Structure formats: C-alpha cells, structure tokens
A and B are shown apart, each in its own frame.
Chain A
Amino acid sequence: MTTSFQYYESAGSSKAREQLAAWRSEHPEMGLLALVTEADREQEIPAIQEACARLSLPVIGSVFPSVIFQSRFLRRGVNLFRFDAMPFHLLRSSADASGESWPESLGKDIACRVGESRGGALFLIFDQMVPNIATILDGLYLSLADRVRYLGVNAGSETFRPIPCLFDSTRIAQGGAIALLLDNHPGAVVEHCYQAPERLVSATATEGNRIITIDWRPAFEVYRETVRSEYGVVIDGSNFYQYAVHFPFGIVRAGNEIIVRIPVALQPDGSLFCVGEIPPNSVLTLLRAPEVDSVRTVDALVQGLKNLCGDPAGADILAFYCAGRKIHLGDRADWELAQLGNRSGAANVAGALSLGEIGHSLQWGYPLFHNGALVCCRWG
C-alpha cells in the first residue's frame, strides 16, 4: 500500500486543489481517506466531495472532534490520506434501503471480497452512536475469522450528539460504518495502560452500552460509592460529566487485561451509558485512571509497532487518540502524543481524536472495542 497524507485548513483551498490535481496526475487510480474536524465538517465535506468529483476521485471519510498532524491535535481543518490505488471500501448505514440490517450487509460484502488469503487488514470507522459495535465485531470475527487483521475507530461529535459523520463521494450518512480493506497491511497496535485495582463489581444488568445495575443495585449508586471509597471523590448528578471521564470502568478479562469503558451519561433511573458495550454480568473494576503512565503507554505502542512491522523510525504513523483519554489527561495528552512522535522517531504522526478504538486482542487476533486507548499503525 503506497500512500501519502497532507493536512489542509480547507480542502477547498487552491493549495489543496492543486495538490489533489498533482496527485491525480501522478496516480490515476488514487483515492482519498478524509478525516474532517467536527468544527469544519459543514464546509469541508461538500468541498471534498466537489473537489473529488471534479477529478473523478473516489473518496471516503468521517468526522472527528480533532485531527492529528505533526503529532499535534488540531481542532480545525482536514487530513487527506492518499491511496495510490483506492482499496475496496464501503459505506453502510441505517439509511440503506436493503432487506437486511446494515451490519449484516457490511459483513457479507466484506466476506465476499476478502477471499481466502490472509495478509490484509480491515479498517473500520463506526459512527460512535452505533450502540452494539462489540457485537458487530463478534459477528465479523465469526464470519471473517483470521482472514484479516482488525483496526478502527469511532467517529462523531465530541459532545456525543448524533451527527452525520460518515461520507463518501456522494453521500453523508450517520448510524453506520465505513470499511476499508487494506491489502498487505499488518494491522495496528492498541494500548491504554490503565491500571486495575483489586476491587471488582459485576454488571448484573446491562443493555448494550447501558449499565442498568451493578451488583443488583442501580449502577450509578454503586459507581458513586466506589469512586468515593477508592478515590475520595464525591460524584453526583451535577458533576458527573466533570468527573466520570477520570474514573472509567474496566471490563476484566481472565488474562488480567482490561477493556476500558468510559461512562458518558447518567440516566434518571440511575443507569449509566458508556462508550462501548458492556456484556451482561461482566466483571467490572473502577480503573485507576489518574495513575496512567504515559511513558509506559508510548513505549508499549512503539514496541508493538516494532513487533508488528519493524522500526517505525522515519516512517509515517497513522494514530487515533481517544477523546476521553485526552479529556482525562488534559495537557499531558499533547505531551503523550508528542512523545509518540519523538520516541518512535516517526517522520510524521497524523490521524484524529477518536471516540472509541478497535484493535486486536492485546496478544492475538480477536478484535476488541476499546476506550481510552491509542491505535497506531504504519502508514505507507
């Protein structure tokens, strides 16, 4: 996969248009992946579609709270990623007029395309408002198994409002997903390095992204007690949004690995909405987010990249950084991102601020949906 990428304050600028035309003349089969900031989406998506239509370029893209370029978060502008030859790509959403649900249609179309060879990666961008991403990933794994490696993110608004955040050459959609089938791609590494305390609770009743009861009591009641007893912080309805991002849940796996679930909304019945599904009866723990070690996280990512595809020094890195993690870490997030660039020696780190991350199991091939994590892979 040969690629290049470039950041523009506006895709409609003459500079961007000239660059696209230059790329197009050099690579007649090229296509674009566009990452657009939430703030500029209303102008930029039509501009990108118009520019691409003029040059007959296939394009697929999505909206994120910020984009990342040169290891920095940028709240305005667009990142344009060029594929020298546009890979197989799909945009499926609930608006599709098909007899079957869009996840089924997505799964079948990808399965038809994948064939029997291994070596490629499936890059997925979900609208963050899709409530059952982990279940969709389970379904994809049942069908595709280990024929592809899995990586991806959630797109959308930082405020968790539903917005049309997925687009291709002609459509802008919401409530669906984008899939890109990348040939000869080693996949990505995912890391969060949140630490788990010993105390466990059980999500005794859940419904998709919603935890209804924990240990048979209203979820928020237990959450509040635990935060208070573990960290001495008193959370109530009024300061929930201020604190919850700092005290995420972790779903405990027998192998001691943690899947982060950040609570993002409190319901009047005391149930809690998280980013990502919580399976019924999941073993939960309240993670020690304040203790997260950025250096360890970055080192783990760099080592993971080395294991996956060799030394990233001098290479371009595609990176997605969890918006919840950024809120939690504040300025340390900028430092952490800069460290990723520095410690990897990468020529450039570009990507976006994401609302959920998808990667393999930390050890092997099972695809998992994470929060609070960074997803990185070599680009090009």
Chain B
Amino acid sequence: MNREKILAILYEMSMVIGGEIRLEPLLTKTLQRFLFHTSFPCGMIFLETSEQRFPEYRRERADVRLAMAVGDFELTREKGSLVSIPACVIRGGPELIEDPALINELPCRKDHYRALLRLPIDDCGVMVLLSPELPSSDIPFTRVFQPVLANLAKAVLLCQSNEAYTESIISDRKRAEEGIRQLASIVQSSDDAIISKDLDGTIRSWNKGAEAIYGYTAAEALGQHVSLLLPPEIPDDTMAILERIRAGGHVDHYETLRLRKDGRRIYVSLTVSPINSDDGSIIGASAIARDITGRLKSEQELQRASAYNRSLIEASLDPLVTIGPDGKITDVNEATETATGRSRTELIGTDFSDYFTVPENALAGYQQVFREGSVRDYPLEIRHKNGGVMPVLYNASLYRDEEGSVIGVFAAARDITEKKTAEQELKRASAYNRSLIEASLDPLVTIGPDGKITDVNAATETATGRGRAELIGTDFSDYFTVPENALAGYQQVFREGSVRDYPLEIRHKNGGVIPVLYNASLYRDEEGSVIGVFAAARDITARKKLEEQLRHSQKMEAIGRLAGGIAHDFNNILTAIIGYGSILLRKMDEADHLRQNVELVLESANRAAALTQGLLAFSRKQVMTLRRIDLNTTITGLERFLRRIIGEDVELAVSCASRPLMIMADSGQIEQVLMNLATNARDAMSRGGRLAIATEPADMDDAFRKAHGYGKPGLYAMITVADTGAGMTADVSERIFEPFFTTKETGKGTGLGMSIVYGIVKQHGGYINVYSEPGIGTTFRIYLPRIAAAEETTEAAKPEPLPKGGTELILVAEDDDVVRRLTQSVLEEFGYRVVAAGDGEAALAAFEEYREAIDLCILDVIMPKKRGREVCQEIVRRKPGVKILFTSGYALSALSEEGILDSEYACVMKPASPAALLKKVRDTLDGRHAAKR
C-alpha cells in the first residue's frame, strides 16, 4: 500500500478519534475502525487510570480493566470489569505475535485465535487485536498506526477530563436545582401564608399556607388584588404598606385583621419585604402572614383563667409556694401557712430554705429546677414552727412571664407522712424476705413477663459465674445450655401455673455446666395480676454423678456376667483339647513329624485358657487366695520384673509410702494388676517416657464420695500408676475397662488386660479410676481396703512338687462326656483305677456299687439330676471320711452358691491341665489340701 493511501486512512481514523468527546463511543468507534481496516475480527482496549497502573514487569499477571471489547462474545461480557491477563500482553512496544498459548490466557474464545497485534496507546493504555490467523496484508500494522494511536491517547485523556468536568458541572447543577427545589418546598410547606405581589397590589404567587389561612386556592388568588383579603369594616391599609415598600422600607410583625374566603375574620401578623430585580430596583413585595387569631384568643383566656387558678391554689390542701430567682418566697397558699405554722405575711420575702429541716437539700432542689427546668418527687421535710416535721415530696418547675423569661419557681409539696410509715414497714418485711432468699443454697430467680431477669440471689450468681447487675435485665434463657428448653419451661409455667422438677442445665461463664431441676410458679401483684415467674433450681450434679456411676457399674456387672458364662463353656471345651492333646503328645514318638502340630494345638489351647482366665478375672469369678500382704513389699518385689516389661526407653520411678500398707489381697493378682498397667503404659509410650508407680495411704470419707461419685468410707491403700504416654480421649477412658475393648491394632492385644485389672480390683473390694489427657499421659489410681499394719505378715509360697500317680480307685462324676473321658484317661494313665458317672444319680449308684473300694470322689459341681454338693453330702453320709475333690468350669459365684467355697473340700478349676489335676488328686488323697483349692 502506498504512502498516500496510508496517510488517507490515518486521516480518516484521526477524524473518527477527534470527533468524539465521550470515552465509550471514542473507544468503540476507534476499535471498530481498526477492525474494519485490519480485518482482525476481534479487539480490546485496556486503559491505565490514575487508580490503576500497568505493572512494570512483563512476567507477572496483571489485573487490568477491560475498557472496551468488540467481536468476541466471551470478551465482550467482561467489558468494564477487571480481568487477569499475562502482563506481557500489555507491556512493551507494538508487536504482532503468533502465540496461541499466550492468547488462550486472555478471557476470550479459547483455542480459536493465533495472532495478537499489540498497539500501545502511548502512556494511556494498549489496544490488542486478535485473529485466527496472521494477516496476509503487506502493511506494517505495528508501525503504521502510531500517529493515530498517539492521537487516541490524547483523545482518551481529553474525554476522561471532559467526562469528569461534565460530571462536576452536572453535580453542581443538580445541587443548585436541589437547593431551589428545597427552597420552593419550604415555601410550599410553610404553615405561614407566603405570597408575592406587584407594587400595584396584584397577587403573583400564593403558597399552600396562604390557601389554608385565607381559604382561597392559588388559582383563585393569583391575579387578584390584595385588597381581596381586606374586611370592609377596617380602613384599607394595603396601599399604605405598598407605599412603604416602594420607598424601600419593611413592615415587621404588623398585627391586623383580614378576611377569609368563607367570610370569617382572622388576625394575622404581617411581615412585608420588597422584592428586588437583578438591577436592584424594587419590583414587588413578599408578604409573610401568620394567623394569630388563636394566640390572641389564648391570651384573653389566660387572663380569665388566672383568677380562676388563684382560687384553685388557695383551695389546694397541698402546700404551694412561689419563689423568686433570689430564693425569696413571693407567694404561698393557706396549706403552706398550716404546714409551717407561719402566716403568709410572715413567709413572703424570707428565704424559702429556712423552713426545711435540711436547708442545703432544699437549696439543691431549687438549683436543680433552674438547671433542668423542673424536679419531680423531690424529698424534703418541712419544719413547723412548733418543732414538728412533715415529710413531703416536692414537684417544682420554673415559671415564666409572657416573653418566656424566668420569674421564679413554682413548688407544690405532697404530705407523705402516711406513705413513709408504710414504706418503712414494707422495707423491713422486704429485708427479711431478701435475707431468706439470699440464704438459700439453691439458685433463685424472678423473671418478668418479657422473659427478662428481674432479680437473682447469690446462689444464682455462683451458678452462672455472673454478677447480679450483669444478670438483671437480660434474657433468662441465655444462661442455659439449651435456651429453647428453658423457654419451653417458662411458657409451661404461664400455661399451667407452675412446673415441678423441670430438668435444665445452667451454663457457667467459665464453660462449666450444672444440671438442675427447676420448680417454678407465677407470682402476682396485690391485685392478682401476673408480674412474673419465680423459679428455684436444685443442683443435681452429685445425683447425676451417682446415677452415672451406677449405670457404669451395672454395665460392667452385666458384661462380667456374660464374660463369666462364656468362660465356663470355653473351659469345658479347652479341658478336652488340652487333656487329649497332652495324652496324644505323650504317646507320640519323639521323631514323629506330627508332634509339632500337636504342640501347636496345645500352645493355642493354653493361650485360649489364659483368655478365659482373664474373663473370669474381670467377672470377679476367679478364685482368690487372700492373704495379708504389705502392698509396698509386693510392689518393690515386682520392680525388676516391671523394668523388663517397660523396656529401656521408659524410665520407671517407684515411690512407696514410708509405712507398710497392709491389705488383704491375692499378691499374685495384685502383681497381675501392676503388670497389666505397666504393659499398657509401655504401649502408650512407644517413643519413651516415664512410668511412675507410687503407694500412699488414703482415707475415703463422704467428701471423697461426693467428689468422685463412688467409694465406701474407710482406710485405703492407694496405688498410683502414671505414664507420660499418648493419653486417651474421654470416650476411650469411658470404655477402657470393658472386655475386648482395645485401641491397639488388631492382633496386638486381647482387649482383656484392663478388664482383668478392673475385675481384680473390684474382687478385692477396691476402686479404680483413670484420668487421661490426650498428648499428656494417663494416671490410674487404685484404692484397696487397708487393714491394720500390726497383723501377721505374708506367708511365702512354696514350690509345688511334680505330679505323681497312684493305684487308688476314684469315682469321676462329670456330665460332659469329653471331659469325663479325659479325666478318666489321665488318671488311668498314672495308674489310678476309675469308675465314671455322667450325672448325680449315676454317681451315687456307682459309689454304692464300689463304696468300700473308692478312695476319692471327683465331683463336678453342676451336674444333671443331682448337683455335686448333694452327691457329696450323700456320699459322705454313706462313707464318712471319704476324700472329695470338686471340679468346676463355672465361675466362683457358682461355687459360693453351692456352698462349696466355704466347705472343707478341695476344688480344681477347669480347664485344669493333666499335671494340675494329678497334683490335686494326689494332694487330696494324701490329705494335703489345707487350702480349699
């Protein structure tokens, strides 16, 4: 394209730019011309503003305002808004780029454009044109439009300035118009008649006030002569007024009579001023008229009323007095003479305060009237000449003359002698009631019909943690955990007159919660009208705690019973497995390749037996050997073993009480408790820590019981086991003693360790509690009943001899076939002879048959037809002195119920290993069963 053509096009574009004075058309038309000439289908313009400058660096993204967009729908939707674009699009010089990826970061149609033509508009902004392909034109687009773009920059600035200036002019004009409109509105809305007239008296304007005062509408009045308003009976003053105005004068507050349209006469106060033209000449008059008919009437009525008032004042039984600004009495009525014992002449001109018991108070009230305009019920005591005193309440106010100037104080006193006496009585009664309320330990509160607290006692302050002043006036329901429930109770009181034992929870300021039961009823005033609700709360924290404790105990008891039942059935099964397994093993050749399998069966069965023992321990059905032991000795003796359990990473600190702590306990089980706790502590301190075990004497009393919700008063030995491990949440602590509850991963624990601890402690008549904080650690406290330290010391356990056989005849009575056959096999294996029976009656029959030969009867405690105990009694009756050995898979309670626990007979608990059974049999036959088990 030749130079001439380019210049012509530039000229055309410059003319487009130069012809616009508003920014948006300028940008639109300019962009359209660029698109027309370049054949780019789409374009946009970004402008810098005083508030927003383009960023300096090209790599940043920039939030810039899209001033104009044409040709791309997505882009046109963003017009006028801030868009985030790569800063390199708007920075730098003119450039034609083929970069689809960059263009895709613009808020335009995606994956459509390939070419971007950037044309900076000097310092003002940038124009960006987009196209799906590079233009084929030979025109250097990046250079050719520079002059036009420079013009565009200037035009943009001019348009921006012009628009700002136009905006300011429009704003100024709007303000001015608003001012005129307001003025016109003021004139229109004025109650005064505001009219204007020519100098010849022709009415030219007439406001609504004039319509109201004179009764003529604007249409009726305009163009009429002002004498229209003149009553015929008075001289025409209108022309005289106009003459005065013409001479440059004013008329102020001229009171005269005027005529309304309806013929009524009205008094008006007229103010007339000249209206000047722009050159200062007077061209008319404005008149403001105020209707004073009412005021004049009032003044007349006032005069009439004055005389009447004086008679009323004199008739008043209340002492009335007027006092001048100097504090001297200016007038009194007869009642004042009576109250003071002084005559009117004696009082007038004297200082008013002289007639009160405390003149300073009287003077203060008088000054208050001057400060505030009046006082109400101001208490004073009038001093009678004879020394008597009359309590009064004064109402006083300033009184003024017609101009409004203060000319003194008018004061009226009301004799309140009787009221005062009644009040004192009430106060005494009230103080008494208050002391009763305050003495109450229960939170008491009164609530108004609007639900706001009207009064509280000290117990309420304690319960909520908030002061009386803070509570009164606030919504009562705000202080409960569930305000809706509180509100429902309050509404119930209104419906039914009262509520009883309504459960709520008071929310303490410190976040604490107090469970309470509310009794509430309506209370009424003397006339019987309801004036609110009186509510008394009873703190049931302790009761709740006890209920919770009971619930927990019952739960544990139930679980224990279940566990004990399961253990019994398992014992029978395990007895068979262990027994036959042992026989099988013994008969197998040492080289037998199946021997290992049998050993594994026995190992598993023994582990299962240990589990059932754990369940029995938890269910407190385990047979205990109670001895007097020193708890300190037991713990000290266990210390080395505990160190091995917890490992090297955990520090063990054992601290025992200085004095022996004697308890009746099975020392083995106490050791079991400590080992289980130590194992748990070790698992909680996988990264090391500290395990502290301490003993000390502890006394439980009612205070302890109240605080903890459990405990039988007495002397206890307390063991504290505290670790610095991971700790537990409240949910976990709550369930920690339940059997099979474990937080360890599957396979890492049986879930019985803590249940065993619990069972053992309970079986020892003790208590255990746990306190744990996640991330801090866990502390267990065990309380075991203490006995006197002076009593005998613990016996040392003797090593047990190896099982030995025999040749005696033994009756085995067992209802479980498998167990019976096993027992028979074991005994026969060791040389004994056996007679077997499957129930109680069969046992007696067998005994009868071999009575003389039988040396020992092994009787299952629970059997069909006849129980072990009955069979035993019958056998002993038939053959006194015969040896009896009871067996039981049932829990300890079963032995106790059957009377076996306290009998002289030995007992072996199932599942008993063959060795244990043989030893027990041998001991019984040899008469070595000093202990019952």
Q: Which A residues are in CB contact (< 8 Å) with B138? A: 256
Q: Which B residues are in CB contact (< 8 Å) with A116? A: 73
- B1-59: which have CB < 8 Å to A? 1-2, 4-6, 8-9, 11-12, 15-16, 19, 28, 32-33, 35-42
CB distance from A182 to the nearest CB of B (A): 18
Stretch among A265-273, A278-286, A290-298, A326-334 lining the B interface: A278-286
> Given the known A-B contacts A142-B28, A200-B5, A252-B5, are A281 and B16 also in contact in the complex, defined by CB atoms under 8 Å?
yes
Q: Which of B8, B11, B19, B137 is in CB contact (< 8 Å) with A255?
A: B137
Question: Which single residue of chain B is at the shortest CB-CB distance from A282?
Answer: B12
A299 within 8 A of B: no
Chain A 111-128 interface mask (CB, 8 Å, partner B; 1/0): 000001010000000000
> Given the known A-B contacts A202-B8, A254-B1, A281-B15, are A363 and B73 also in contact in the complex, defined by CB atoms under 8 Å?
no
Q: Which of A138, A142, A147, A280 is in CB contact (< 8 Å) with B15?
A: A280
Q: Which of A146, A254, A256 is in CB contact (< 8 Å) with B73?
A: A146
Q: Which of B19, B39, B136 is in CB contact (< 8 Å) with A361?
A: B39
A198 within 8 A of B: yes
Q: Which A residues are in CB contact (< 8 Å) with B28? A: 142
Question: Which single residue of chain B is at the shortest CB-CB distance from A201?
Answer: B8
Q: Which B residues are in CB contact (< 8 Å) with A256? A: 1, 137-139
Q: Which A residues are in CB contact (< 8 Å) with B131? A: 363-364
Q: Which A residues are in CB contact (< 8 Å) with B1? A: 254, 256
Q: Which A residues are in CB contact (< 8 Å) with B70? A: 141-142, 145
- A340-380: which have CB < 8 Å to B? 361-366, 368
B132 within 8 A of A: yes
B451 within 8 A of A: no
Bound-state CA distance A142–B32 (Å) is 9
Q: Which A residues are in CB contact (< 8 Å) with B36? A: 253, 366, 368
B803 within 8 A of A: no
A235 within 8 A of B: no
Contact B135 A146 (CB under 8 A): no
Q: Which of A146, A198, A202 is in CB contact (< 8 Å) with B71?
A: A146
Q: Which of B8, B16, B133 is in CB contact (< 8 Å) with A252?
A: B8
> Given the known A-B contacts A116-B73, A254-B144, A255-B139, are A365 and B15 also in contact in the complex, defined by CB atoms under 8 Å?
no
Q: Which A residues are in CB contact (< 8 Å) with B200? A: none
> Given the known A-B contacts A281-B12, A283-B5, are A255 and B135 also in contact in the complex, defined by CB atoms under 8 Å?
yes
Bound-state CA distance A253–B137 (Å) is 11
Question: Which single residue of chain B is at the shortest CB-CB distance from A117?
Answer: B73
Counting chain A CB atoms within 10 Å of each CB, which of B9, B12, B33 scores highest? B12
Contact A283 B8 (CB under 8 A): yes
CB distance from B797 to the nearest CB of A (A): 92
CB distance from B24 to the nearest CB of A (A): 11
B913 within 8 A of A: no
Q: Which B residues are in CB contact (< 8 Å) with A280? A: 15-16, 19
A29 within 8 A of B: no
Contact B41 A365 (CB under 8 A): yes
> How many chain A residues have a CB neighbour from B under 8 Å?
30
Bound-state CA distance A365–B72 (Å) is 10
B551 within 8 A of A: no
Bound-state CA distance A256–B39 (Å) is 10
Bound-state CA distance A144–B74 (Å) is 10
Contact A254 B4 (CB under 8 A): no
A257 within 8 A of B: yes
> Given the known A-B contacts A253-B37, A255-B39, are A200 and B137 also in contact in the complex, defined by CB atoms under 8 Å?
no
Contact B38 A146 (CB under 8 A): no
Contact B139 A254 (CB under 8 A): yes
Q: Which B residues are in CB contact (< 8 Å) with A364? A: 39-41, 131-132
Q: Which of B9, B42, B135, B137 is in CB contact (< 8 Å) with A365?
A: B42
Bound-state CA distance A327–B778 (Å) is 107
Question: Which single residue of chain A is at the shortest CB-CB distance from B138?
Answer: A256
> Given the known A-B contacts A253-B37, A366-B36, are A283 and B72 also in contact in the complex, defined by CB atoms under 8 Å?
no
CB distance from B80 to the nearest CB of A (A): 13
Contact B12 A255 (CB under 8 A): no
Q: Which B residues are in CB contact (< 8 Å) with A144? A: 73
Bound-state CA distance A200–B38 (Å) is 18
Q: Which B residues are in CB contact (< 8 Å) with A368? A: 36
Q: Which of A118, A145, A362 is in CB contact (< 8 Å) with B76?
A: A145
Chain A 124-145 interface mask (CB, 8 Å, partner B; 1/0): 0000000000000010011011
B109 within 8 A of A: yes
Bound-state CA distance A146–B72 (Å) is 5
- B70-105: which have CB < 8 Å to A? 70-73, 75-76
CB distance from B132 to the nearest CB of A (A): 6
Contact A252 B9 (CB under 8 A): yes
Contact B2 A198 (CB under 8 A): yes
- A44-87: which have CB < 8 Å to B? none
Bound-state CA distance A374–B28 (Å) is 30
CB distance from A18 to the nearest CB of B (A): 45
CB distance from A181 to the nearest CB of B (A): 15
Question: Which single residue of chain A is at the shortest CB-CB distance from B36?
Answer: A253
Bound-state CA distance A368–B4 (Å) is 24
Q: Which B residues are in CB contact (< 8 Å) with A202? A: 8, 11-12
Contact A363 B135 (CB under 8 A): yes
- A8-65: which have CB < 8 Å to B? none
CB distance from A363 to the nearest CB of B (A): 5
Bound-state CA distance A253–B37 (Å) is 4
Contact A366 B4 (CB under 8 A): no
Q: Which A residues are in CB contact (< 8 Å) with B75? A: 145
- A129-187: which have CB < 8 Å to B? 138, 141-142, 144-147
Give 29 A-B contacts (CB < 8 Å), ordered by A residue: A142-B28, A144-B73, A145-B75, A146-B41, A200-B5, A252-B5, A252-B8, A252-B9, A253-B9, A253-B36, A253-B37, A254-B6, A254-B9, A254-B37, A254-B38, A254-B137, A255-B135, A256-B139, A280-B15, A280-B19, A281-B16, A283-B5, A363-B39, A363-B41, A363-B131, A363-B133, A363-B136, A365-B42, A366-B71
Question: Hey, which bits of chain B sit against chain A, CB under 8 A?
Answer: 1-2, 4-6, 8-9, 11-12, 15-16, 19, 28, 32-33, 35-42, 70-73, 75-76, 109, 131-133, 135-139, 141, 144
If A202-B11, A255-B139, A365-B41 are given as contacts, then 17 extra A-B residue pairs at C-beta distance below 8 Å, sorted by A number, are A116-B73, A142-B28, A142-B70, A145-B72, A145-B73, A146-B109, A200-B4, A254-B144, A256-B137, A256-B138, A281-B11, A283-B5, A283-B12, A363-B41, A364-B39, A364-B40, A365-B42
Q: 9 closest Cβ contacts across the A-B interface?
A: A254-B37, A365-B41, A364-B41, A281-B15, A283-B8, A281-B12, A145-B73, A255-B137, A363-B39
